[in-house]
Amino acid sequence: MTRALVLGGGGVTGVAWEWGLLAGLAQRGVVLADADLVVGTSAGSVVGAQLCSGRPVRESYEAQLAAPTGEVAARFGWPAVARLVWAGGRTRDAVRARARVGAMAVAARTPSEASRRAVIEARLPARQWPARRLLVTAVDATSGEFVVFNAASGVSLVDAVGASCAVPGVWPPVTIGDRRYVDGGVRSVVNADLAAGAERVVVLAPVTSGFGPMPRLSAQVAALRSVARVAVVSPNRAARAAIGRNVLDPARRAAAARAGFAQAEAVAADVAGVWG
Protein backbone atom coordinates (compact mmCIF):
# COMPACT_ATOMS: atom_id res chain seq x y z
CA MET A 1 0.00 0.00 0.00
CA THR A 2 1.51 3.32 -1.13
CA ARG A 3 0.47 6.44 0.77
CA ALA A 4 1.04 10.02 -0.39
CA LEU A 5 0.76 13.26 1.55
CA VAL A 6 0.17 16.37 -0.56
CA LEU A 7 0.90 19.72 1.08
CA GLY A 8 -0.42 22.80 -0.69
CA GLY A 9 0.63 26.44 -0.70
CA GLY A 10 -0.62 29.16 1.61
CA GLY A 11 2.14 31.40 2.95
CA VAL A 12 3.52 31.42 6.49
CA THR A 13 0.03 30.91 7.87
CA GLY A 14 -0.35 27.90 5.59
CA VAL A 15 2.82 26.41 7.04
CA ALA A 16 1.44 26.97 10.54
CA TRP A 17 -2.02 25.57 9.77
CA GLU A 18 -0.55 22.46 8.17
CA TRP A 19 1.69 21.80 11.18
CA GLY A 20 -1.23 22.33 13.53
CA LEU A 21 -3.32 19.86 11.58
CA LEU A 22 -0.49 17.31 11.39
CA ALA A 23 0.09 17.58 15.15
CA GLY A 24 -3.61 17.36 15.98
CA LEU A 25 -4.04 14.30 13.78
CA ALA A 26 -0.94 12.63 15.23
CA GLN A 27 -2.30 13.15 18.73
CA ARG A 28 -5.37 11.22 17.61
CA GLY A 29 -3.32 8.37 16.17
CA VAL A 30 -3.35 9.47 12.52
CA VAL A 31 0.34 9.78 11.66
CA LEU A 32 0.71 11.35 8.22
CA ALA A 33 4.48 11.55 8.72
CA ASP A 34 4.54 7.88 7.66
CA ALA A 35 3.84 8.83 4.04
CA ASP A 36 5.82 7.04 1.34
CA LEU A 37 5.64 10.13 -0.87
CA VAL A 38 5.40 13.80 0.12
CA VAL A 39 4.48 16.46 -2.45
CA GLY A 40 5.16 20.06 -1.43
CA THR A 41 4.13 23.28 -3.12
CA SER A 42 5.21 26.67 -1.77
CA ALA A 43 4.33 26.60 1.95
CA GLY A 44 3.87 22.86 1.55
CA SER A 45 7.46 22.49 0.34
CA VAL A 46 8.65 23.96 3.65
CA VAL A 47 6.47 21.61 5.68
CA GLY A 48 7.40 18.67 3.47
CA ALA A 49 11.13 19.28 3.83
CA GLN A 50 10.78 19.72 7.59
CA LEU A 51 8.60 16.63 7.94
CA CYS A 52 10.86 14.40 5.85
CA SER A 53 13.91 15.51 7.83
CA GLY A 54 12.55 13.53 10.77
CA ARG A 55 11.87 16.48 13.03
CA PRO A 56 9.12 15.47 15.51
CA VAL A 57 5.69 16.70 14.48
CA ARG A 58 4.87 18.05 17.94
CA GLU A 59 8.13 19.98 18.04
CA SER A 60 7.44 21.51 14.63
CA TYR A 61 3.95 22.50 15.72
CA GLU A 62 5.19 24.12 18.92
CA ALA A 63 7.76 26.07 16.91
CA GLN A 64 4.85 27.75 15.11
CA LEU A 65 3.53 29.01 18.46
CA ALA A 66 6.77 30.87 19.25
CA ALA A 67 7.44 34.49 18.31
CA PRO A 68 8.15 34.58 14.54
CA THR A 69 11.72 35.87 14.74
CA GLY A 70 13.57 35.74 11.43
CA GLU A 71 10.39 35.90 9.37
CA VAL A 72 9.82 38.95 7.22
CA ALA A 73 6.28 40.29 6.98
CA ALA A 74 4.89 40.97 3.53
CA ARG A 75 1.57 41.94 2.05
CA PHE A 76 -0.38 39.50 -0.08
CA GLY A 77 -3.83 41.00 -0.28
CA TRP A 78 -6.13 41.85 -3.15
CA PRO A 79 -3.61 44.13 -4.96
CA ALA A 80 -1.07 41.31 -5.16
CA VAL A 81 -3.73 38.84 -6.26
CA ALA A 82 -4.95 41.30 -8.88
CA ARG A 83 -1.43 41.60 -10.32
CA LEU A 84 -1.23 37.82 -10.63
CA VAL A 85 -4.62 37.60 -12.29
CA TRP A 86 -3.76 40.43 -14.67
CA ALA A 87 -0.46 38.82 -15.61
CA GLY A 88 -1.61 35.22 -15.95
CA GLY A 89 -5.34 35.32 -16.43
CA ARG A 90 -5.51 36.83 -19.91
CA THR A 91 -4.83 33.64 -21.83
CA ARG A 92 -6.12 30.09 -21.78
CA ASP A 93 -2.66 28.76 -22.56
CA ALA A 94 -1.38 27.59 -19.17
CA VAL A 95 2.32 27.67 -20.08
CA ARG A 96 2.04 31.16 -21.58
CA ALA A 97 0.13 32.34 -18.52
CA ARG A 98 2.88 31.06 -16.23
CA ALA A 99 5.56 32.73 -18.37
CA ARG A 100 3.71 36.05 -18.09
CA VAL A 101 3.56 35.69 -14.33
CA GLY A 102 7.25 34.84 -14.35
CA ALA A 103 8.07 37.96 -16.35
CA MET A 104 6.13 40.04 -13.85
CA ALA A 105 8.05 38.40 -11.01
CA VAL A 106 11.44 39.06 -12.63
CA ALA A 107 10.58 42.73 -13.17
CA ALA A 108 9.18 43.30 -9.67
CA ARG A 109 11.06 45.13 -6.93
CA THR A 110 11.67 42.62 -4.15
CA PRO A 111 14.18 41.89 -1.38
CA SER A 112 17.48 40.38 -2.52
CA GLU A 113 17.82 36.71 -3.34
CA ALA A 114 20.51 36.37 -0.66
CA SER A 115 18.31 37.76 2.11
CA ARG A 116 15.41 35.56 1.10
CA ARG A 117 17.63 32.47 0.88
CA ALA A 118 18.75 33.07 4.46
CA VAL A 119 15.10 32.98 5.60
CA ILE A 120 14.45 29.71 3.75
CA GLU A 121 17.65 28.13 5.05
CA ALA A 122 16.70 29.03 8.63
CA ARG A 123 13.39 27.19 8.20
CA LEU A 124 15.00 23.88 7.27
CA PRO A 125 16.38 21.62 10.00
CA ALA A 126 18.50 19.76 7.40
CA ARG A 127 20.25 20.96 4.25
CA GLN A 128 20.37 17.59 2.48
CA TRP A 129 17.53 15.93 0.61
CA PRO A 130 15.85 13.34 2.84
CA ALA A 131 15.80 9.63 2.18
CA ARG A 132 11.99 9.82 2.01
CA ARG A 133 10.67 10.57 -1.47
CA LEU A 134 9.98 14.32 -1.56
CA LEU A 135 8.78 16.28 -4.59
CA VAL A 136 9.10 20.09 -4.60
CA THR A 137 7.34 22.12 -7.27
CA ALA A 138 8.39 25.31 -9.06
CA VAL A 139 7.91 27.13 -12.36
CA ASP A 140 10.57 28.37 -14.79
CA ALA A 141 10.09 32.15 -14.80
CA THR A 142 11.06 32.54 -18.46
CA SER A 143 9.55 29.54 -20.22
CA GLY A 144 6.60 28.91 -17.88
CA GLU A 145 7.63 25.24 -17.68
CA PHE A 146 6.43 23.36 -14.62
CA VAL A 147 9.38 21.83 -12.77
CA VAL A 148 9.44 19.15 -10.08
CA PHE A 149 12.64 18.96 -8.03
CA ASN A 150 13.68 15.85 -6.14
CA ALA A 151 16.81 14.30 -4.66
CA ALA A 152 18.04 13.32 -8.12
CA SER A 153 17.66 16.80 -9.65
CA GLY A 154 21.12 18.03 -8.72
CA VAL A 155 19.57 21.07 -7.01
CA SER A 156 20.11 21.88 -3.34
CA LEU A 157 17.13 21.41 -1.06
CA VAL A 158 17.38 25.05 0.07
CA ASP A 159 17.23 26.31 -3.51
CA ALA A 160 14.38 23.95 -4.43
CA VAL A 161 12.27 25.06 -1.45
CA GLY A 162 13.21 28.70 -2.04
CA ALA A 163 12.06 28.45 -5.64
CA SER A 164 8.80 26.80 -4.63
CA CYS A 165 8.18 29.64 -2.16
CA ALA A 166 9.09 32.51 -4.51
CA VAL A 167 5.72 34.26 -4.54
CA PRO A 168 5.67 36.37 -7.74
CA GLY A 169 5.85 40.10 -7.09
CA VAL A 170 6.61 39.56 -3.38
CA TRP A 171 9.79 37.46 -3.18
CA PRO A 172 12.56 37.30 -5.78
CA PRO A 173 12.73 34.46 -8.30
CA VAL A 174 15.42 31.95 -7.33
CA THR A 175 18.43 31.52 -9.59
CA ILE A 176 19.50 27.92 -10.17
CA GLY A 177 22.21 27.54 -12.79
CA ASP A 178 21.27 29.85 -15.65
CA ARG A 179 17.53 29.73 -14.97
CA ARG A 180 15.24 31.57 -12.58
CA TYR A 181 12.26 29.97 -10.86
CA VAL A 182 9.08 31.10 -9.15
CA ASP A 183 6.48 29.59 -6.85
CA GLY A 184 5.15 26.15 -7.72
CA GLY A 185 1.70 27.53 -6.86
CA VAL A 186 1.77 29.44 -10.16
CA ARG A 187 0.98 26.12 -11.84
CA SER A 188 -1.46 24.87 -9.18
CA VAL A 189 -1.96 25.89 -5.58
CA VAL A 190 -1.73 22.20 -4.58
CA ASN A 191 -0.40 20.11 -7.52
CA ALA A 192 -2.25 17.10 -6.15
CA ASP A 193 -1.92 15.27 -9.46
CA LEU A 194 1.72 14.49 -8.58
CA ALA A 195 0.38 11.89 -6.14
CA ALA A 196 -0.88 9.78 -9.06
CA GLY A 197 0.06 6.16 -8.52
CA ALA A 198 -0.44 6.19 -4.76
CA GLU A 199 -3.23 4.04 -3.39
CA ARG A 200 -4.11 6.37 -0.51
CA VAL A 201 -3.75 10.14 -0.67
CA VAL A 202 -4.30 12.87 1.90
CA VAL A 203 -4.29 16.45 0.66
CA LEU A 204 -3.83 19.39 3.03
CA ALA A 205 -4.78 22.53 1.12
CA PRO A 206 -4.58 25.88 2.93
CA VAL A 207 -5.73 27.50 -0.34
CA THR A 208 -7.99 25.76 -2.83
CA SER A 209 -8.71 28.32 -5.57
CA GLY A 210 -6.43 29.50 -8.37
CA PHE A 211 -6.78 31.82 -11.34
CA GLY A 212 -6.73 31.74 -15.11
CA PRO A 213 -5.98 28.37 -16.74
CA MET A 214 -4.61 26.76 -13.55
CA PRO A 215 -5.59 23.10 -13.09
CA ARG A 216 -8.41 23.00 -10.56
CA LEU A 217 -7.91 21.10 -7.33
CA SER A 218 -11.33 19.53 -7.74
CA ALA A 219 -10.34 18.08 -11.12
CA GLN A 220 -7.03 16.80 -9.79
CA VAL A 221 -8.75 15.13 -6.85
CA ALA A 222 -11.44 13.61 -9.08
CA ALA A 223 -8.75 12.01 -11.22
CA LEU A 224 -6.99 10.62 -8.14
CA ARG A 225 -10.25 9.26 -6.75
CA SER A 226 -10.82 7.21 -9.87
CA VAL A 227 -7.98 4.92 -8.75
CA ALA A 228 -7.21 5.78 -5.11
CA ARG A 229 -8.77 6.64 -1.77
CA VAL A 230 -8.42 10.40 -1.18
CA ALA A 231 -9.13 12.80 1.67
CA VAL A 232 -8.90 16.57 1.23
CA VAL A 233 -8.70 18.97 4.16
CA SER A 234 -8.85 22.75 3.82
CA PRO A 235 -9.28 25.39 6.53
CA ASN A 236 -12.70 25.50 8.19
CA ARG A 237 -14.42 28.74 9.13
CA ALA A 238 -12.51 29.12 12.40
CA ALA A 239 -9.20 28.46 10.68
CA ARG A 240 -9.95 30.96 7.92
CA ALA A 241 -10.68 33.58 10.55
CA ALA A 242 -7.42 32.78 12.36
CA ILE A 243 -5.42 32.93 9.14
CA GLY A 244 -6.88 36.30 8.15
CA ARG A 245 -6.58 38.01 4.81
CA ASN A 246 -2.80 38.18 4.53
CA VAL A 247 -1.22 34.72 4.39
CA LEU A 248 2.26 36.26 4.55
CA ASP A 249 1.76 37.85 7.96
CA PRO A 250 3.95 36.05 10.53
CA ALA A 251 1.93 37.64 13.35
CA ARG A 252 -0.96 35.31 12.40
CA ARG A 253 1.21 32.20 12.54
CA ALA A 254 0.41 31.02 16.08
CA ALA A 255 -3.34 31.51 15.64
CA ALA A 256 -3.28 29.59 12.35
CA ALA A 257 -1.36 26.72 13.97
CA ARG A 258 -3.79 26.48 16.88
CA ALA A 259 -6.72 26.54 14.46
CA GLY A 260 -5.24 23.65 12.48
CA PHE A 261 -4.66 21.69 15.67
CA ALA A 262 -8.28 22.24 16.74
CA GLN A 263 -9.65 21.35 13.29
CA ALA A 264 -7.95 17.95 13.44
CA GLU A 265 -10.64 16.70 15.81
CA ALA A 266 -13.36 17.19 13.21
CA VAL A 267 -11.47 15.57 10.31
CA ALA A 268 -9.53 12.80 12.07
CA ALA A 269 -12.06 10.04 11.36
CA ASP A 270 -12.28 10.83 7.63
CA VAL A 271 -8.51 11.10 7.24
CA ALA A 272 -7.94 7.89 9.20
CA GLY A 273 -10.42 6.11 6.97
CA VAL A 274 -8.29 6.94 3.96
CA TRP A 275 -4.86 6.61 5.54
CA GLY A 276 -5.52 3.21 7.06
- Residue 42 a catalytic site member: yes
Helix (H) or strand (E) holding 204: strand 200-204
Instruction: Quote the CA–CA distance of 81 and 205 in Å, as a whole number.
Output: 18
d(CA 190, CA 205): 6
CA distance 57 to 36: 16
Catalytic member of 53, 60, 164, 183: 183
122: helix, strand or coil: helix
Which residue type is seen at 247? Answer: V
Tell me, letter by letter, the H, E, C secondary structure of 139-168. EECCCCCEEEECCCCCCCHHHHHHHHCCCC
Q: How far is 25 from 46, CA to CA, in rounded Å? A: 19
Strands 3-7 and 146-149: unpaired
Catalytic residues, by residue number, are 42, 183
